[in-house]
Structure 1
């Protein structure tokens, strides 16, 4: 008889206001997804992230608290390397449901790629096993579809450290209009200059006509990795960083927090998912955390915020 058990933990958002983890959390099996992304589709949450050596794995949850590895493929991965460009370094996946298909944007061997599936569980496959930009390395691609239906891809180039760019896509959601490629942000604030020159992990939403970009700065290896925000009124225009960045850095006992994405939960609340170092002494495996995000009025204007109190998801372990 198979015995299903869950390691008992407290999973509620912490009420102390500082995100502190209690002693029992050391017994948890956390969710080992770095650069995490969560898709809500047909009442189920799907999480993707960096972690597998040979591709991208997927986990599912009905409540954001407890997660299961659930890829319905021979490889056990949503994306397997044989169906993709590259042999290693499968990083930062994001999955979008568009016109009955699921598009996974990710990087492999420091080249940005896109693969397609009929299911959020996979298997995802590249139509042509080549990067979206063949002539240069790039990472951290993130899709944004504007109100007028135009699709844009935000991504990170290596032409001045790590810096964020955007380009418009053709209707196939796979092909760059290279003439539209536009620089968004580079390292420019003191908190970003710990080491090295890094602005990465862009994710964009639109609220009341304003574009809001969350991004991460400093090396992911640094305990000072953190999340900032920049805004623009024109997606191809100038982006302005919040003067009070970072909005999330070292919450509670976590260090190395960043490379987030945003999503709306089943109740319509805006959430943020991000990773942190394994602990203060070890970077890997990086683990997934979830918090609340949203907008509040400051001097008559909407201000994006991130709640420092976080939820610690765990794996459902089956013997």
Structure 2
């Protein structure tokens, strides 16, 4: 009888919270990001930070390494990531552990190497990396490397190293002897930036800041159909336009040519912005994904997070990465089998509470409540304390069908530097149709994990107009939210097709700045925002830009000599409009 009562109680808990095997995830990915280890980076407040990610599929498990985390994560499903605490630098007094790390699989072994100019970082190896079981493969890599990337070809037993992070020097490459694990001494330049031709490579938030030359960094190599795809990040990590481009060659160390469709990984708009300095990997179903850096850059230029986007190669071997609605609910690998990744894996669950009315328990200074629903990761609301009972409430405007909620915590008055373990967030989320009678829809009052970008997908959609989150426990600091995001289906009307979409660009026969293009369109009264699709062929509109609230956008990422094609669609809580007619810009 006792067992039966326990079973009934558990069924009730799972019913009201809707927990089940999730089919989706939402960027920024929800991992227990460590805090910056540097006091010098914390003058405006201590904060979480990582960047420069690498994901390697090793023995059908995904291993994620990134900057300054004193360890790494692994996952079976790309949703649930398990952290392994490990310091790879032998000198414990130095706070830079893995910085812009390299990771690669070679035969039955996983290898890891961190950035260094001093040749003081060993190459580590493990055949069992789901636990802290590593040994040194090489004491000193003589060539040294900052932002290193290793590419191994099993069929040829060839290993190549690429590296560089500079606004002066190009990315370099060399072959590594697989027996000695050293370079044979022959080093060649691979790619460099041409900002005078490629608008997206120019320095600055809007690619218009001329006081500093842009940085090339974040090398990564992928081989596909006999071709080598050298990926690189530009122009700098602290900007929304941080992106990855790609050069292609049939030789791993020579004759690389700029892919016409560039940057291939780009996300300058929306909540989670930036898609640069990343790595491309395959899941267990042979589909490609691209992991990269998302910027916040509020408390420090190097305050960043990570995102994962569907990627791949089309029938013409063009490398692409789909970031359209890339910070909305997206299908996980197991549920994306057979899908066309070039068209994205967005579920169609819309954001229900963009700029909707909010109420809160308290407000600290100028960290106003509406900052939690303005779709800007750089702004946030903060309560006056981190105490249990502080709360945030959002009004969807009408009873809506809710499929998922993403909770993006912000760092306000936190106390930690470096990696912390054993910390947790605890909270309860209530739903109501009238703002008076409330029902628990998510209960994480006993959660024991650190979830700075928690994402909950409901087994059965929840019907509610009002959503209220009540704080139970914070790992540190105040109860603060940069984005409380409710996804699902509204009951209203979706926008009509955008009218009068106009593309303004200097003529190729006249003097003018052709790397910049101005879009204008008629404001759609039902729209929350718009997505502009772009490319250099009408059938390859792989680029996208999300714009909230405005009816214009100044695109500064064009290549000077090439023609472009553009389309636009409007969206709101109820869905997306039909796309406009494609517009060509010579």
Residues 275 and 286, structure 1, Cα contact 8 Å, conserved in 2: yes
Mapping of 1:1-319 within 5 angstroms?
12=24, 30=31, 32=33, 33-52=50-69, 56-69=70-83, 71=84, 76-77=85-86, 79-82=87-90, 88=96, 90-108=98-116, 113-120=122-129, 121-127=131-137, 129-133=139-143, 138-146=145-153, 147-156=155-164, 158=166, 161-172=168-179, 174-178=181-185, 180-188=186-194, 189-194=198-203, 195-249=212-266, 250=268, 252-278=270-296, 283-297=301-315, 301-309=316-324, 310=326, 319=448
Counterpart Cα distance in 1 of 2:180 and 2:110: 11
SS at match of 2:53: strand
**Structure 1 38/29 Cα, relative in aligned 2: closer, same or farther at 3 Å?**
closer
**Structure 1 29/270 Cα, relative in aligned 2: closer, same or farther at 3 Å?**
closer
Residues 171 and 216, structure 2, Cα contact 8 Å, conserved in 1: yes
Residues 88 and 109, structure 1, Cα contact 8 Å, conserved in 2: no
Residues 122 and 137, structure 2, Cα contact 8 Å, conserved in 1: no
**Structure 1 227/251 Cα, relative in aligned 2: closer, same or farther at 3 Å?**
farther
Counterpart Cα distance in 2 of 1:169 and 1:289: 30
**Structure 1 87/109 Cα, relative in aligned 2: closer, same or farther at 3 Å?**
farther
Number of aligned residue pairs = 287
Deviations 1:273-306 (A, max 9, x none): 1121136776444211111111113xxx321111
Residues 151 and 168, structure 1, Cα contact 8 Å, conserved in 2: yes
Residues 86 and 108, structure 1, Cα contact 8 Å, conserved in 2: no
**Structure 1 109/185 Cα, relative in aligned 2: closer, same or farther at 3 Å?**
closer
Q: CA RMSD in A?
A: 3.6
Q: CA deviation at 1:210?
A: 1.3
SS at match of 1:161: coil
**Structure 1 209/34 Cα, relative in aligned 2: closer, same or farther at 3 Å?**
same
Structure 1 segments unaligned to the other structure (5+ residues): 1-5, 15-20
Give me the TM-score of the superposition, normalised by structure 2: 0.44
**Structure 1 286/247 Cα, relative in aligned 2: closer, same or farther at 3 Å?**
same
Rg comparison, structure with higher value: 2
Q: Which has the higher contact order (CA 8 A, sep 6+)?
A: 1
Q: Give 1 or 2: higher strand fraction.
A: 1
Q: CA deviation at 1:123?
A: 4.3
Counterpart Cα distance in 1 of 2:58 and 2:159: 20
Worse overlay, 262-271 or 89-98: 89-98
Deviations 1:30-69 (A, max 9, x none): 55341111222333322111133xxx41112222123231
Counterpart Cα distance in 2 of 1:242 and 1:84: 42
**Structure 1 191/110 Cα, relative in aligned 2: closer, same or farther at 3 Å?**
farther
**Structure 1 302/287 Cα, relative in aligned 2: closer, same or farther at 3 Å?**
same
**Structure 1 236/168 Cα, relative in aligned 2: closer, same or farther at 3 Å?**
same
**Structure 1 219/162 Cα, relative in aligned 2: closer, same or farther at 3 Å?**
farther
Q: CA deviation at 1:99?
A: 3.5
Residues 109 and 127, structure 2, Cα contact 8 Å, conserved in 1: yes
Structure 2 segments unaligned to the other structure (5+ residues): 1-16, 34-49, 204-211, 333-405, 409-422, 425-446, 449-586
Q: CA deviation at 1:228?
A: 0.7
SS at match of 2:183: coil
**Structure 1 157/198 Cα, relative in aligned 2: closer, same or farther at 3 Å?**
closer
Give me the TM-score of the superposition, normalised by structure 1: 0.76
Worse overlay, 37-46 or 116-125: 116-125
Counterpart Cα distance in 2 of 1:256 and 1:279: 11
